[in-house]
Amino acid sequence: MPKPVNFQEKFALFTEQWAPKVIAEMNDYQFKIARLQGEFIWHSHADTDEAFMVLEGQLRIELRDGAVMLQPGELYVVPKGVEHRPCAPQEVKLLLIEPCGVLNTGDQGGERTAVNDVWV
């Protein structure tokens, strides 16, 4: 019997922050869950939009001209090429949807780049 992916079951399998884990694929896109807390780095993705959906907690996506606040049950798509910085004073659990191969640090690289394509 095929089984759906349950977000909470998947989150129970790791506690690492800033390390997106793949939970499903759709064509050449991936669904990734992540725990974030604190401030990330400013970056952008030159070739793709990136969708953020909050599952638990609150996420602030800073943009150069403002910020978007996301609560559970909310979705925001950062357009390609737009600089953004995810921030969360408390841990937030979120779902990312983006093409396979997209790195969390986009054009910036550096020490906060997570290993890509890790499934949970």
Token reading at 51: 């969708």
Residue at token pair 């357009």: 79
| Local structure of 10: helix, strand or coil | helix
Judge contact between 56 and 95, C-beta under 8 A: no
Q: In 3-state terms, what secondary structure has residue 103?
A: coil
Judged by CB under 8 A, the stretch of 13-21, 36-44, 70-78, 100-108 that binds a second copy is: 70-78
Part of the chain binding a second copy (CB under 8 A), chosen from 19-27, 35-43, 105-113: 19-27
From candidates 25, 39, 107, 117, binder to a second copy by CB under 8 A: 25
Binding interface with a second copy (CB under 8 A): 1-8, 23-27, 29, 31, 48-51, 55, 63, 66-71, 73-77, 80, 97-99
